[in-house]
């Protein structure tokens, strides 16, 4: 199936259908391949995404080329997103490489500065035929994050309206890499104020019931990174000591990653809409 070059199409479909797209953080071929194979088995569209830290290991062109090649051989829609983008230069580099979507994480800035930077990046992304995610909250423990900052509904609505972003990340209790419970009352207030697509980070530790309610409230994208990284490292540690060559380790790691990805797809109910 062709690579989804403009993320806005999948975001609109998820918002109207009240389901969420799993956004899997991947840093190599095995992770990308495993997530796509899981999506194919569940017949679900997915997002693959990269951190700025991943882009210190390989350029946006390398990741975009890898994901495009995998998507071209896949039977489900696949898009590529920049997670926790740290400015215009990073966003432009990814868009030029062919990313479907970019995020600008300006939550630590004063609101007016966040609005100004997000508005510029949203305009650039739209001109490039891609989607843009802005941030109205902090999730702690992740790349570039200093702590948790719960989202104010009015601020989220202002950010979405003034920047013309396609989705807004909101902090309502989830934390990067940790078990967490959502403040569903706060999320409902944000949904009523924003009336547009929402994003949750820290999706590895959010309970199933909370995720189900979140999708009903307009969450269209849930980031999943820590669960994949833990599965990958665990599989390597288990398989590597007895392996004579690396080819014996790769399938074990891929199966561990697929189990995590399939479980998350089912929790988000993405598979029933594909």
Angle value at C-alpha 214, between 141 and 75, nearest 5 degrees: 90
In this prediction, residue 63 carries a pLDDT of 98
Task: For 57-112, write each residue's pLDDT tens digit.
Answer: 999 999 999 999 999 999 999 999 999 999 999 999 999 999 999 999 999 999 99
Residue 177 has pLDDT above 80, yes or no: no
The CATH number assigned to the domain holding 130 equals 3.20.20.70
Q: Which DSSP string corresponds to 68-117?
A: HHHHHT-SS-EEEEE-S--SHHHHHHHHHHT-SEEEE--TTS-HHHHHHH
Q: Is 6 a catalytic residue?
A: no
Catalytic residue among 83, 105, 152, 166: 83
Residue 204, domain member (yes or no): yes
- Give me the pLDDT at residue 243, please: 85
User: How many other CB atoms are there within 10 angstroms of residue 47's CB atom?
Assistant: 29
Confirm whether 154 is domain-assigned.
yes
User: Do the beta carbons of residue 206 and residue 226 sit within 8 Å?
Assistant: no
Q: Are 143 and 53 in contact (CB under 8 A)?
A: yes
**Domain membership of residue 216 as a residue range:** 8-273
Q: Are 75 and 94 in contact (CB under 8 A)?
A: no
The pLDDT value given to residue 141:
65
| Pick from 79, 2, 65: nearest CA to 35 | 79
| pLDDT at res. 48 | 98
> Looking at the DSSP assignment, which residues form a beta bridge with residue 80?
48
Q: Kind of pairing, strands 148-149 and 138-139?
A: antiparallel
46: β partners: 78
In a domain, residue 2? The reply is: no
In a domain, 1, yes or no: no
Residue 210 lies in a domain: yes
Which of the 8 DSSP states describes residue 190? H
pLDDT at residue 140, as a whole number: 73
> What was the pLDDT predicted at 274?
46
Residue closest to 82 by CA, chosen among 135, 14, 137, 20: 135
- Residue 158, in any domain of the structure: yes
Q: What is the pLDDT of residue 217?
A: 97
Looking at the chain, the whole-number percentage of residues with pLDDT higher than 90 is 82
Q: Which helix (H) or strand (E) segment is 223 a member of?
A: strand 219-224
112 to 103, 118, 228: CA distances (angstroms): 17, 10, 35
- Residue 68, token pair as written in the block: 């495009």
Q: Which residues pair with 251 in a beta bridge?
A: none
pTM for this one? 0.94
Number of domains in the chain: 1
Tokens standing for residue 123 = 């305009």
Segment 103-156, tens digit of pLDDT: 999 999 999 999 999 999 999 999 999 999 999 988 876 544 456 789 999 999
Q: 224: part of which helix (H) or strand (E)? A: strand 219-224
CA 67 to chain centre: 14
Q: What tokens appear for 26 in the block? A: 């991947």
As a whole number of Å, the CA-based R_g of the chain is 17
Are the CB atoms for 194 and 154 separated by under 8 Å? no
Sign of CA dihedral 124, 128, 129, 134: negative
- 60 inside domain: yes
The listed range with the strongest mean pLDDT (103-117, 142-156, 170-184, 233-247) is 103-117
Please choose, from the candidates 153, 149, 165, the residue with its C-alpha nearest in 3D space to the C-alpha of residue 220: 165
């Amino acid at each position: 199936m062709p690579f989804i070059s403009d993320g806005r199409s999948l975001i609109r479909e998820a918002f109207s259908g009240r389901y969420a797209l799993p956004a899997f953080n991947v840093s190599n071929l095995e992770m990308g391949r495993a997530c796509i194979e899981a999506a194919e088995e569940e017949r679900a569209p997915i997002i693959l995404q990269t951190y700025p830290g991943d882009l210190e290991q390989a350029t946006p062109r390398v990741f975009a080329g890898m994901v495009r090649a995998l998507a071209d051989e896949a039977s489900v829609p696949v898009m590529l997103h920049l997670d926790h983008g740290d400015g215009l230069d990073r966003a432009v580099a990814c868009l030029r490489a062919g990313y479907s979507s970019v995020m600008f994480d300006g939550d630590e800035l004063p609101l007016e500065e966040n609005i100004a930077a997000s508005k510029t990046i949203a305009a650039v992304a739209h001109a490039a035929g891609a989607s843009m995610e802005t941030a109205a909250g902090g999730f702690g423990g992740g790349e570039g994050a200093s702590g948790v900052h719960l989202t104010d509904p009015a601020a989220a609505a202002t950010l979405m309206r003034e920047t013309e972003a396609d989705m807004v990340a909101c902090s309502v209790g989830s934390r990067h890499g940790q078990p967490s419970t959502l403040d569903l009352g706060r999320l409902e207030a944000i949904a009523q104020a924003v009336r547009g697509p929402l994003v949750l980070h820290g999706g590895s530790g959010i309970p199933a019931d909370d995720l189900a309610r979140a999708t009903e409230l307009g969450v269209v994208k849930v980031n999943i990174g820590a669960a994949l990284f833990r599965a990958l490292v665990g599989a390597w540690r288990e398989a590597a000591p007895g392996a004579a060559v690396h080819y014996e380790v790769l399938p074990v790691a891929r199966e561990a990653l697929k189990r995590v990805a399939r479980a998350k797809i089912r929790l988000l109910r993405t598979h029933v809409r594909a």
